[in-house]
């Protein structure tokens, strides 16, 4: 029996169910936009959200287990396409939910900042806190990954660990430094606003983290998802503690920027010698 229909319909059903659950949780937590009292606005807003979740989160599930061809070159605009989609979805949702429905004296821009976790009395202080805690959390992340790798070895599941660098990682390592910094900044800002500022207050830490991890399935490296999960929980904890997304944005940018600019190029240079002396090894991609 062919699994092709399931691969196509499964992610779509998950996206529709997730958008519906998002709507119900928003209402239960008192976060329903006033404009959504009009059925057409609610339906259109949730359709946009479902489509965004399908493309950005669940579509990769349909490719799990399929053979992958040679990695094609990705254009610079494509590097930012998914983040642009997230921003577009947020803009449409905010317009449908709040445009023309706000009390006198309240602006759409101000409401957008409140809805997305961007309001804080001292944003620069929050950014500095994010950088500082991000630096402190880096060793903890590496220790956690090493412990997980050691547990996999002890259980005889070392085949889960990568024996060669993922193709996408190798390709990213060759990008110009300025472009890598731009990618890290885009990821830090857009992904934190979407997953932590927008989704987390409405769906909770567990669900928003699961969606964040699924959005990174396209790396096609299972062990990387362990590190992504730990990072997501760290960012989520920052947002929950500080009640704004600025520290998570700073920490996310720090992690991605350091990896893209320094860690990954260094690790790729060490890989051939490590393979000669140690055989298949693991590096914290």
Tens digits of residue pLDDT in 145-193 = 778 777 877 777 667 666 666 677 777 778 899 999 999 999 999 999 9
pLDDT tens-place string over residues 120-130? 999 999 999 99
pLDDT at 123: 94
pLDDT at 273: 57
pLDDT at 214: 93
Q: Do residues 11 and 58 touch, judged by C-beta distance below 8 A?
A: yes
pLDDT at 283: 44
Residue with tokens 């830490």: 205
Integer CA distances (angstroms), 173 to 141, 162, 167, 168, 256, in order = 21, 17, 10, 9, 12
pLDDT at 275: 45
Residue with tokens 């092709």: 4
Q: Enter the tokens of residue 122.
A: 């001292």
pLDDT at 75: 77
* CA nearest to 90, candidates 239, 193, 161, 241: 193
pLDDT at 70: 58
Residue with tokens 């399935």: 217
* CA nearest to 208, candidates 250, 244, 246, 240: 240
Contacts of 225 (CB under 8 A, 6+ apart): 213, 216, 217
**Positions of E strands within 111-182:** none
Q: Taking the domains of the chain in order of start, what are their residue ranges?
A: 1-115, 121-285
Distance CA 190, CA 175 (A): 20
Q: Enter the tokens of residue 132.
A: 């500082």
Q: Do residues 87 and 190 touch, judged by C-beta distance below 8 A?
A: yes
Residue with tokens 């983040």: 83
pLDDT at 72: 60
Query: Looking at residue 57, what DSSP letter applies?
Result: I
* Ranges under pLDDT 50 in the chain: 1, 274-285
Distance CA 22, CA 27 (A): 9
């Amino acid at each position: 029996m062919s699994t092709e229909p399931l691969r196509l319909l499964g992610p779509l059903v998950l996206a529709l169910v997730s958008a519906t659950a998002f709507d119900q949780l928003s209402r239960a937590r008192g976060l329903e936009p006033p404009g959504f009292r009009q059925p057409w606005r609610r339906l259109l807003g949730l359709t946009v959200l479902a489509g965004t979740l399908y493309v950005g989160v669940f579509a990769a599930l349909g490719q799990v287990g399929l053979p992958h061809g040679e990695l094609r070159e990705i254009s610079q605009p494509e590097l930012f396409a998914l983040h642009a989609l997230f921003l577009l979805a947020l803009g449409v949702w905010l317009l449908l939910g709040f445009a023309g429905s706000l009390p006198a004296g309240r602006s759409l821009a101000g409401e957008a900042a409140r809805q997305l976790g961007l309001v804080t009395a001292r944003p620069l202080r929050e950014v500095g806190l994010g950088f500082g805690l991000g630096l402190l959390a880096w060793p903890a992340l590496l220790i956690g990954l090493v412990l997980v790798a050691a547990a996999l070895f002890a259980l005889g599941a070392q085949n889960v660990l990568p024996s060669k660098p993922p193709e996408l990682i190798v390709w990213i390592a060759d990008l110009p430094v300025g472009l890598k910094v731009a990618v890290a900044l885009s990821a830090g800002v857009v992904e934190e606003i979407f997953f932590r500022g927008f989704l987390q207050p409405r769906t909770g830490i567990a669900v928003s983290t699961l969606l964040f991890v699924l959005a990174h399935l396209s790396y096609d490296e299972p062990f990387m998802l362990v590190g992504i999960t730990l990072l997501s929980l760290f960012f989520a904890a920052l947002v929950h503690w500080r009640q704004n997304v600025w520290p998570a944005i700073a920490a996310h940018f720090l992690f991605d920027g350091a990896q893209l600019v320094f860690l990954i190029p260094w690790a790729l240079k060490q890989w051939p010698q490590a393979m000669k002396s140690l055989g298949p090894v693991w590096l914290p991609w």
